[in-house]
Amino acid sequence: MPYGSIIGQDRSIAILRRAQSGGKLAHAYLFDGIEGCGKRKTALALVQSIFCSEGKGCGQCPACRKVAAIQHPDLHLVEPDGTFIKIDQIRELQRELAFRPFEAPKKACIIDGADKLNPAAGNALLKTLEEPPGNALLILITANPGGMLPTILSRCQRLQFQAIPQPAIEAYLVDQGTPAETATIAAALAGGSLGKALEVSSETVLQERQTLLQRLLALSLEDIATLFATAEELAADKEKAREMLELVTTFLRDMLLLRQGSGELSNRDLLPILEQGAARFTSASLMGLIEQVAATRRALLRNVNTRLALEVMFMRLAEA
């Protein structure tokens, strides 16, 4: 069954199943949680359970297979077109929802990346949430509810998805054929995201992680040109820049743990390099750097100049 393929979200799935069995599904949901924790899979599983010819989300009938492939005529998926979800996309959705269902009991829409609605699109969607057409189901997905209009948040039933426990991620990776040691490292770095764990578990990404750590420890205020060039390179892809900041946080945390005598490291395979960093920084400077990285992440969410934000962070790192 589709729900059975989702790990670590038993609470959210139980809430949805209970509401559906009691005929009390809301017309609009907000699935809120970190990237890669199963929000989109759960949204599709919910739609399958409604559209399924067996009435349970079997995953095998034509309706379930169409939903899984995003090819069902009564399922509409809206994602950012470039940086934002635009008003034309919401207007097209509204036109589609105005028609009667072709095959399913109701129309369903998944808006993945709902925090990327631009102001015009958000206000247009608000009208649909206030006056939903027929008995259509709308599922909004976000990892950043703070980037959404409060009026939209207030009109959705919010379902918070938890970070997936590290042992569950590790067990899943091993079941998929990932070597045990790699699975342990990837699960530790994933931060509760199965999607991130699958990405991190590749040899290429693990090697890139080591290269990044070595580059950051080599930054120096005496070679400001290299520092600025590094910031410019890493700022080229804003999404990757955010992922890099998460990784830097794990490096700094591991160094702090080493200074305090703990061996519970996320990047345990990079121990010699981490020991080098732990010897260089004091505990106080490491805590200050962790806060600087957090401030940089918040700045990127506010769409500040990515390169400038990274330059400031790297200068703090180089002078510590």
- The mean of the pLDDT values for the chain is 92
Q: Average of pLDDT values for 82-108? A: 94
User: What pLDDT, on the 0 to 100 scale, is given for residue 85?
Assistant: 96
CATH code given to domain 202-319: 1.20.272.10
Q: Average of pLDDT values for 124-139? A: 89
User: What pLDDT, on the 0 to 100 scale, is given for residue 1?
Assistant: 57
Q: Where in the chain is the domain with CATH 3.40.50.300?
A: 2-160
The CATH architecture annotation of domain 2-160 reads 3-Layer(aba) Sandwich (3.40)
- pLDDT by residue (tens digit) across 188-233? 888 899 998 998 888 788 888 889 999 999 999 999 999 999 999 9
CA atoms of 297 and 246, how far apart (whole Å): 8
Six token digits for residue 294: 């957090």
pTM of the model: 0.81
Q: Where in the chain is the domain with CATH 1.20.272.10?
A: 202-319
Q: Residue 139 — φ and ψ, nearest 5°?
A: -120, 115
- pLDDT by residue (tens digit) across 37-77? 999 999 999 999 999 988 888 999 999 999 999 999 999 99
Sheet with 108-112: strands ordered across: 75-78, 108-112, 137-142, 28-32, 157-160
